[in-house]
Structure 1
Amino acid sequence: MSLTLVSLNNIQKDITKTLKQISSDKQVERETAYYKANIGKITSIKDFLANDRLYQYAMKSFGMEDMIYAKGFMRKVLESDLTDGNSFANKLADDRYRKFALAFNFNSATTAVQTSAQTEDVLGLYDQSIVREDDQVRDDTRYFQAMIGTFQTVDQMLTNERVRSYILKNFGYDADRYSYSHIRNILTSDLADPASYVNSLPTTTAAQSTEKQRALNLANAFTFNTDGTVKNGAAQTEAQTAALIENYVLTVPSHKTPSAAAVNRLYYDTKIRTVTSMTEITGDARMWEIVRTALGKDSTFLKATFENIVSSDLNDPQSYVNTAGSKKEEYAAIARLFNFDTSGNTTAGNAQTSTQENTLLNGYNTHYDDVDEETRNIMKTSYKNNIGTITTIDKLFSNSTLMIVSLAAFGISRDEYNLTELRQALTSDLSDPKSYVNTKGDPRLLKMAQDFNFDAKGNAAAPRMAQTESTIKEVASAYAIQKQRFLKSPELDTVKKKVEAETTYYKTEIAKLKTADELLKNRRLIDFNLVALGLDPAKISDDTLKKLFKSDLNDPKSFVNTQTDKRLKQLVSSFNFDAKGNLIQSAKGSVQDRGHMQKTLDGYLQNELEVRQGEENPGVRFALYFQRKAQTITSAYDILGDTALLEVFKTTFSMPDQFSSMKIEQQKAIVEKKLNLADLKDPEKVKKLIQRFTVMYDMKQDQAQGGALSVMSASGSISADTLFTLSQLRTGR
């Protein structure tokens, strides 16, 4: 029998090569290929347990060959609700069962039309829609201004899609349903000719009268000859262009925009310089709205009240303001903004000083969007309260508030896409480049589809997230274990609070990720996952992480697949990103996500390695097993409850056969006395512990076999370095 330490060292010299040799074994290759090809076809626990090849592969992967026969027991494990601390799997002392259940999705993942992160994303975009709309208005206006002077014919203007849209929206025409000839005939009508096209439009009904007036407004906004050419070298006069732009800014956007506020401020500044009477303010609807808004008043604030205020003599105790009771100070502040006499008159240019005007317009800047903001807040509250009740796409479409907010959030007008097209987009498979939403080429539509979770039938589906629900739970649990191992109060209490805070951050932020680049920019999230895997974040650079996440998991020669430490591959595969860093959807209906499948495949290979080595030397299998499990040990009970780990401990510390007959508390005390459990956090100390085990194991076997170790030493089978190591361990140096 070969020396255990030598065999172990030989294996570990190039573990990647060793595992590759095992994976290329025909039997292993066949079973792995079968598992990968068929696990996605399983839809129930019954199907899984009935397929012996899949079931046995998974059981071996988790080192539970000895429980393969116990299908009834394993059914209970797989049926366990892992969110319930009292469920069957969670109450078992051996954590392998809980991990086995976590590796499969037999308990349906939570379905939700939106996660909280997706909802916040939509509402955030909804808030930004005002700014986006204003930016679009400014951009469209700049384009219109730049182009309108270049047209020499009506057809040149109408065939420019962007200019045509600007004009049609301005006059309330549906850009998708207008008649080209109708619009052209209006613009080329001779308004002085009673028989011209526009003057001949019918007015029998109220609707027809409204339509004719709109046509007249359109015709009056341009200067085309009846043959379609421009008059005086331009399609519009400067005054017509200014009026059209002002109307567009004020009436086309769905909300009061900053641009509209700026136009109104300019209007007020121009008009106030000519005002000679307070009635010129209250009699001008636009001026009155600006003033009322600036004062923070709604439509219930009467013009008469305003007139009484600004015509009050503040030095007269009996004036309207001074007899207003609790309103006195408020009204006096309003009166001080204007310079009208007690008859409500003033001279041109003196209605307000520049200081008074600036004060008023600052108030307008503050309050111009108050009504819109209140409406938005009501809409947002309604959205939050109702989105969680939506279970199908039809229910979403039938809720007007949800649709208004959703479409506005993504900058989509209600007439751009019909419900059939929206349904096709929201039920598209985002991972399929040929799906409707991916071939449509509209980034707004794609973003909307990314923020909703519908399956192909339009039902609520499991959310598309950077990590699956089960992975998030598993990572959070593993992180807590790694950070709290072997700690005692009060240090444990302090660390627990930090762990809770970090876990909350992880669960919140992981749900927001859409790309691998976003993940790579958040080292805090990556480090959380590294710690959970038992890796030291300080030893893994940003550059290495970038190479890992840019790797193709399906390419055996890619960077991630050539790493010695397979935990790095498990890190990458636990995230639902493709090689380009885009979020992908886990296979729909699959009982195992990509990350857990990778763990199963790696586990099977590791188990094969340990089993095969055990056939030649059980000590090597024990050593490999202990090395793998060391990072998960949290107490003496983990060792005492695991036959293989217990054997390593007993052999390493020469425990007598009677050890296992002692009371469990006594066994625990001995384990803690002999073995500093905190040393298991240090890879170097674990390595030395395993070396000690291998020597003690060989010595025990040597004694049982009549001095085989001595014979091997004499024959030169053991190197001088190995003998030196053995002598050190034997003498305790």
Structure 2
Amino acid sequence: MTFSPYVLGTGIAGWNFLDRTRTQQQQIFEKSPILDRAVQDFTNKIDSIQTADQLLDDYNVLQVALGAFGLEEDIANRAFIKQVLESDLSDPRSFANRLNDNRYLGLAQTFGFGSEDGPQLPSASAEKPYVNVASPEDLLSNKTLLNQALDDFGLQRYAGNEFFLQKVLESDLSDDNSFVNRLSDTRLADFASQFKFNAPPEYTSSMDAMLGEFTAMNDGAGPANADELLGNETLLNAVIETFDLEYTNPIFLKRMLEADPFDENSAVRQQEDPRVLAMSRAFGFGMPDINSFSSPDELFARPELLEEVLDQFNNSNPGEDFLRQVLESDLSDPNSFVNQPGNLAFFDLAEAYQTEWTPPPSKVKVLADEVGTKLSGYENPRQFVFDFDAFEAGLDVFNMNERQLDFSFMLKVFESDLSSETSYANLYRDPNVQAMANAFAFNPGGNDRTYPPGFAEEIADLYTDRNFEIAIGESDPNMRLALALERELQSIADAGGSEDAHWYGIIGSPPLKTVFESALGLPSSFGQLDVDRQVNEMKDRAFASFGTTHPADLLKPDKLEEFRNRFLLLSELNSDTASAGFSDPIFALF
């Protein structure tokens, strides 16, 4: 016979009974055959779950995984949960990060299919309370979190000096002469180091690093010459890794970067490795000055340069005789060859050739402009390949084009396990294709997921806790909410962000929204108000009742007990009032 948890009494009296007997009741409840089998099945199988699809394919394991986060009702919504699980958590615009319900983010963070960090204990976010504090402003606006951080280092006396703390937090910790490193109190440097607001960016691939460092130079224009590139060590290393260069001597690289990639007799054209030529063309430092050409013959003598020039103006190659007439046309004569209606598409080309030729942006610059901040947002290679302009620009960087390689081929390349010597990408004969696959690294492979010690146990505990709450809720829904209150509120606090962000999180969490509306004496119609007005009203009432406007303050033991008791008392009172047919006239104001 299955044990059913129970509560004697309602409201505060019922809570006191449940609080006294919970441990004993839950121990008995966890021994129920159905619950015990589910937990054992999850524990036995979880280490074999290496992908989101494998998790979704195993109903029993998925049931425990979702149940641990109170998401068991989504078990049939495979496509939605797959998007959650595979979200790139480093991208604030990714699917999981954009959902209002933070339980989905917790699920994604815990299983880590879209994170370089892999799976983590559900409790890990509580151990890193500042993980989502993105800027000094975020921290300074969150007084509770700021005070906690200062307390950790014995720096509470600085709490009121926001200008000083801003300079501390914005200091470059790697610079011995930065503001914080010149202060006598070394604890301030330790304090700043846990946030690392001024730390260098973390890149997800060599291509990400190359584009990031490129756009950080000269207001996004990139290095102006080979010397500037070679002088930026991070960019140089990213270039070497992106093009998978074997010979990396700076003197050699300078010669290659400055050589004319369209001159068959230049140093770079003598290299057997095609990746060196791809690098040279990608940056274009050795691009010949077409303004110095004295006749079209000099352009025609370099077929590859001619094709590059025609591409710059989106022209096809109609043949040398046609182009000669275009380039030698009198632009001011309406009867000249280029001014004929059928030839006007070549007018810009003729004008640039005869007046002043403006070199096109480098191929790296074009790719950086096309990709922008999207690179880390591509959750799979298909998104990149079918972002046509970005994909074409990517091929161009590696001296390839879509006419040589079709989409299906490149998808197979990008999806290959780069850690396997026998993968499709690594067996392909073209070094530029291999370099491109490794540079974007959509599937680096070689990283079997290892679940941290205690992972299965923590998930199982969460699952049984929530099932116990569900069972209690069948007899008293308010008790279920009271049981979950501390955990749900802690998850909001762990997410970090500003005070208002905490309130938005509460509004986005159905159980917390219910508890807060009851504890603050708000009517059921309250949710129809504008969200900003809801936040302001909740803050006003929280301050009037509990002396604080920050939800995280309610996690203090005395405040939490006071808040929970108020919720239970008002919930019971409202229930009794409603059953008696009374209504509060103040509700009519909303």
TM range (shorter): 0.3 to 0.5
- Could you state the TM-score of these two structures normalised by the residue count of structure 2? 0.41
- Could you state the TM-score of these two structures normalised by the residue count of structure 1? 0.34
